[in-house]
Structure 1
Amino acid sequence: MRGDQRDRHAWRTGLIDKGLAAVIGGAVLLAGFTTSGPGPGTADVVLVMAGSLALAVHRRAPVPVLVFTAACMLGYVVHANPGTSAAFPVVAGVHAVTRAGHRAAAVGVSVVFLVGFFFASTSGDGFERTLLLHGWFICAGVTGLIDKNWQAYLRQTEERAAEAERTREEAALRRAGEERLRIARELHDSLTHSISIVKLQAGVAVHLARKRGEEVPEALLAIQEASGEAMRELRATLDVLRTDVVPPGSGLDRLGELVERACAAGLAASVTVAGEERQLPTDVDRAAYRIVQEALTNVARHAGRAKTSVQLTYAGDHFAVRIDDEGTDATAGPTTPGTGLTGMRERVAALGGVLHAAPRPDGGFTVRAELPLDAS
């Protein structure tokens, strides 16, 4: 985008320079034809237009352009003895050269042109006209210096603004990093301890049951496995908070394990895939897994052992995931969105997708998320 803006600015500036060069040449010729006398001849027109149009490229080579323009206009002065208007292109060139920082070249060319103009003048007011041109050249040099200083001031202002923006971004990133570390510490100090106790107690209960020769309840095994998985996910989340890097294997490649744990907890869950399976973008893959995980958690929490189906659909420009459960009747009462559904909507909205979560007319609940695959 910035490259396109620079190209447009360069094109616009070049067009303005060409227009000004043509206007200056036209003004010199108009002044020559309107004064008393025979007017400029063919050679004079060529000299004036060549010297004036050369100003169109003064930004690329300011000093050579000024020398060429001054030579052409001095030839015009010697041949046709015009008025002071013949100095317009040279004055413009002096301004450009001074603005570019070549003050010695501007002074030298100005002195040569003024001396040549003075000796080429055949009228009695040659000294007065040369003195007038001397004031023009001084003004051109002064305005060139002012323009140069102004451009330098603008560049410094832009650099300071850019530096201030970088400083703000760095400060924001630093504060975000500090906040992530604080959250990681809080999660580690609170959740890690509690989940460890649950896992330890479940493990002890399983061990004692097996030691006594009793059958271990499936719910107890599910608690033991779920607490272990919770510990692994919590550690992965803490690593993300500390390093801001998403760990590998945090998407649909773990869907099989998720469904197995749900089935071990008593949930009748199945997975079907439609379309040609392929690698999904990391953010889409991770969001889809979290949506299925949260939906199965909601089914286990609100619908007990309801039969649940998970359908993954790979389309050309989007990926869809749908979770249907055959839970309680839809007329049992209104559904109040909790933090789980809110988190789903936030994940889907962040990827530019669409989420539908509502009770089914014949009972149960449906969660359907459509996530675009376009990287933009």
Structure 2
Amino acid sequence: MNRVDVMVAPVVGALMVGTAALNGVAGPAGYGLLVLSAAALAAHRRHPLHVLAVTSVLAACYVLAVEPEMAATIPALITLASVVRHGHRRAAQVAALGLVAAMTGGYLLSDQPVLAAVKGGFLVMGWFVAAVAMGIALQQADRRALDAEHSREEAALRRAGEERLRIARELHDSLTHTISVIKVQAGVAVHLTSKRGEQASPALLAIQEASGEAMRELRETLEVLRDDTVALARLPELISRMRAMGQEVALTVEGNSRALPASVDQAAFRIVQEALTNCVRHAPGAQASVLVEYGKQEVVVEVSDTGGAAAPGEGLAGGGKGLTGMRERVDALGGRLEAGPAGRGFTVRAWLPVEVTAGLSGKALPA
């Protein structure tokens, strides 16, 4: 329970009881209604609708049975603003009109002229309109605060992504330079060895070949880091490149393809890209298939291979951090990933929710 509300309730109660005592009309039952109404006010933030109902009924009972005193409606006025703040405007309107009618009835029961009672009811309506306006203002303030919080989170995620990208590029440049030196030195050693009529050692040839492969992979990594426009719409282009490398890949799309949130679109493409890359590396010659299934609540991507000449169950599994990266992407979106052997091959299947809200996971997508 809010500490401020706990402090406000007795203050409001004292104000109502003091006003009733000055008027000298309320009896024990009237004071009891005022005290109960003030006590209920302590929970108006946690249960605004329930408290509004209680305070409105107690206020109506007081003004009809005791006296038409505006002070008796203070807990209902405060709760009215809280109800509007929580978005329950219809309930607030019903309660306000009910209390205005009760006040008008109270004036009539106190033998005031009809015209005076109606005027008194309209004056009371002004207080309730002010309470509703206060609730709307608080609601808008809450929304602005929430939008500002989301903006800060998005800015933090963007800065984190930019920093990771910068570090990755710097690391790429540093490693490329070092590996280039190793490759050149190994090439010179092989050349000098052959020039002397000798056969280069297998270790030296392996160093030359491994450094060349590392250079190619680093270039591919940098190309991926520089490309921020990945999306499932580019799958045909990706598959065409795989086929040009000699990899047999079949693409199947089920459901009605549609625009997806950028984070989901990017994650789905990267998962397919990583899975096909692992297939080329660890199951060369295998037949791969890509399935994209558009559902109402999620999009499913599946990449599987036949295993080819690789050992049973190897395929897409590979090594390193391929599957770890996929799982991080899926977890960041609140989805699910399954990866495991399928016959002689391997299958990766990811379920990605279509609707991803900010802060759902509180994680940034891996670069």
Rg: which structure is higher?
Answer: 1
State the TM-score, normalized to the length of structure 2: 0.49
